[in-house]
A = this chain, B = another copy of it.
Amino acid sequence: VSPVVIHSRPAKETDRIDEIVGFWCHENPALDVTLKCLTMRLRSASRLVDRALRQELASLDVEMWEPEMLLSLRQAPGMQSSAGALLRASGVTSGAITNRLSRLEGSGWIRRQVDPSDRRQVLVTLTDAGRSRADQLIAAKNLSEQRFYADVPRETLERLERDLRTLLTAVEPDSPTPLAGGEPDGPAHR
């Protein structure tokens, strides 16, 4: 089964999660050790990255979701997208998107306007100030990321990225939409 080549890892045979899960699965062989560890590590890693980046970005008065939203908009054709498209690109619920858009609008980074061709939809456009804000945030976040991952072997990072990509395309519920301007399709509201 698992070849487990853990080459360059002198001590530290097991970590915190190994112990918790390992103990449990030892007296309950029906459980899948890999799956249980994977879920826990996924949550753990995500929380750690979040925390690290958030703390570094806090000096700029930036929340974690802001770079993500602005980056989506920045790369959209005409720096404009629809609320629905941003929703599908984000992975959060529609209520969260409305919330984020209101705050971005309040700060002056975006403008909201009703789509004339389908008045149910809302078009979101990056303002000039929003454009430079986006550029600034991307740069800052990039620096923080490089610091955070500095101690992890490059090889591991690249393999992780690829494997996570495989996982996401396998389990992702829908998203035939590659994030476009204003295509009114696909289920929403989540």
**Which chain A residues have a beta carbon within 8 Å of chain B's beta carbons?**
1-2, 4, 6, 9, 12, 15-21, 23-24, 28, 30-32, 34-50, 52-53, 68, 71-72, 74-75, 89, 91-92, 138, 142, 145-146, 148-149, 151-153, 156-173, 175, 178-179
Query: Is A75 a contact partner of B34 (Cβ separation < 8 A)?
Result: no
Chain B hits for A21, CB < 8 A: 71
Q: Which 10 A-B pairs have the closest CB atoms?
A: A46-B46, A41-B164, A23-B75, A151-B170, A38-B161, A152-B170, A35-B145, A160-B163, A42-B46, A156-B163
Query: Is B160 a contact partner of A24 (Cβ separation < 8 A)?
Result: no
Query: Is B38 a contact partner of A164 (Cβ separation < 8 A)?
Result: yes
Count this chain's copies in the assembly: 2
Chain B hits for A156, CB < 8 A: 163, 166-167
